[in-house]
Amino acid sequence: MTSLKEKKKHKEAALKAWKTIRREKRNKAAKSTAKITAFISPERIEKIKHPEIVSRREDQALPWQGNRIVVPFDKTPPDIACGMFWEVRWAYGCPFNCSYCYLRGTMRGRMKPQYVRTGLVLQALDEAFAKIKTPAIFNSGELSDSLMNPQLMEPIVNKFEEQKSHKIYLLSKCGTKNIGFLTDVPRKQVICGWSINAPAVARQWEENAAPPEDRIDAATKVSNAGYDTRIRIDPIFPVDCWESHYSNLLSQILSKFTPNRIILGTPRGLWKTIQYAKEAGANMDWTRFFRDDSSWGKKLAFEQRKAMYEFFFNNLTSVGFPKPNISLCKETGEMWKALNLTYHLGVCNCYNPRKLV
């Protein structure tokens, strides 16, 4: 008769064998993917102008100028309470076709994903690790969705496990189908972030992204696997009954797991985004909410944004979510002060080293 100890041992061996098989299948798929992948050169991806970069801030000195693939995001407008962080330009483009996406403002509206060859990305990271001494978070989701091609992202993620100072931030709208490499092998130098909107908003303006429920399940699974997992609710749209929609979204998220951090933002309408969204035939109904002009494009009216942020803060803190673990993205210093929030001038308040712990 088989003992419980032997059964447990057999179960663990079977699980290990299953994970090995999955890993081998992913490696094989990665080789096949590479044969049909559209690649972009480091020289070309370096020249892509981030659509949300406006002008260089004079209050921050860069420790290093970057190397085409690892580059500083350091040109936010002076009145915006956001600062420098590091981008990992491993790819450009996104398959999800969100109507409001700022990536429409680059490369004449071209959104089809292109990738930098993985070997070049790994070389660029080795140089970055040697040059950047202060612990930092490297955001891989600025010019692309971090998990849109798991086979190509896996070796990049693994590179971060070779050192202990820096972490990679994976920002995504993908669902559970794209997280196998994360849950199979937990890692210490990875932060996972999910951009999740209310289902009523997602149905209108996030055409090809995974359903919000699937994104919540994906975030829950990586959190349960031990990852620092954050939620980004941005852009928050004041659609009809928005309070009910977003209250339900918060309940859905918090009933599954507690994020390490929640990042909030409201719509931003850069002129290039609006222009190329129209040319692409996107649903432009999202632009009807704009009232104010700012150095970072069109925004909702100040008082409306303030009321929406207060709604989220009140809902979150009322159930015990720590207020210091809530951030505003691409907002003005005036708004932070109006909400009695503290921000650090010249650094990214979501991705800076203070948020590593």
Q: How far is residue 95's CA from residue 206's CA, in Å, rounded to a whole number? A: 11
What pLDDT band is residue 343 in, cutting at 50, 70 and 90? confident
Q: How far is residue 84's CA from residue 310's CA, in Å, rounded to a whole number? A: 26
Q: What does the DSSP assignment read for 147-184?
A: TS-HHHHHHHHHHHTT-SS-EEEEEE---GGG-HHHHH
- The answer to whether residue 300 scores a pLDDT higher than 80 is yes
Residues 6+ apart with CB under 8 A from 298: 267, 268, 269, 270, 274, 287, 290, 292
- The answer to whether residue 206 scores a pLDDT higher than 90 is yes
Query: What is the per-residue pLDDT for 6?
Result: 67
Which uninterrupted H or E stretch holds 205?
A: helix 199-205
Which uninterrupted H or E stretch holds 214?
A: helix 212-224
What pLDDT band is residue 296 in, cutting at 50, 70 and 90? confident
Query: What is the per-residue pLDDT for 20?
Result: 60
Query: What is the per-residue pLDDT for 182?
Result: 98
pLDDT in tens, 79-107: 888 888 899 999 999 999 999 999 988 87
- The answer to whether residue 124 scores a pLDDT higher than 60 is yes
Query: What is the per-residue pLDDT for 16?
Result: 64
- The answer to whether residue 258 scores a pLDDT higher than 80 is yes
* Of 78 and 160, the one with more pLDDT: 160
What pLDDT band is residue 357 in, cutting at 50, 70 and 90? very low
Query: 39-356 sits in which CATH class?
Result: alpha beta
- The answer to whether residue 4 scores a pLDDT higher than 70 is no
* Of 294 and 285, the one with more pLDDT: 285
Query: What is the per-residue pLDDT for 30?
Result: 47
pLDDT in tens, 30-75: 454 444 578 988 888 887 776 555 554 454 567 788 999 999 988 7
Q: How far is residue 313's CA from residue 141's CA, in Å, rounded to a whole number? A: 25
Strand 228-233 with 114-115, pairing: unpaired
Boundaries of every domain in the chain: 1-36, 39-356
Query: What is the per-residue pLDDT for 34?
Result: 47
Q: How far is residue 222's CA from residue 171's CA, in Å, rounded to a whole number? A: 13
Least confident of 213-222, 243-252, 297-306, 339-348: 339-348
Q: Is the dihedral of CA 170, 159, 49, 210 positive or negative?
A: negative
pLDDT in tens, 10-42: 666 655 655 565 555 555 544 544 445 789 888
Query: What is the per-residue pLDDT for 32?
Result: 46
- The answer to whether residue 262 scores a pLDDT higher than 80 is yes
Query: What is the per-residue pLDDT for 127?
Result: 97
* Of 242 and 30, the one with more pLDDT: 242
Q: How far is residue 19's CA from residue 344's CA, in Å, rounded to a whole number? A: 43
Query: What is the per-residue pLDDT for 109?
Result: 83
* Of 345 and 250, the one with more pLDDT: 250
Q: Is the dihedral of CA 252, 255, 257, 258 positive or negative?
A: positive
Query: What is the per-residue pLDDT for 15?
Result: 57
Q: Which of 78, 60, 187 is nearest to 134 (CA)?
A: 60
Supply the mean pLDDT for the chain: 88
What would the two tokens of residue 86 be?
């590091």
Percent above pLDDT 90 for the chain? 69
Single-letter residue type at 259 = P
Least confident of 18-27, 39-48, 177-186, 246-255: 18-27
Least confident of 14-28, 147-161, 205-219, 254-268: 14-28
Over residues 103-125, the mean pLDDT reads 91
Over residues 97-121, the mean pLDDT reads 91
Q: By the 8 A CB rule, do 166 and 160 touch?
A: yes
Query: What is the per-residue pLDDT for 305?
Result: 98
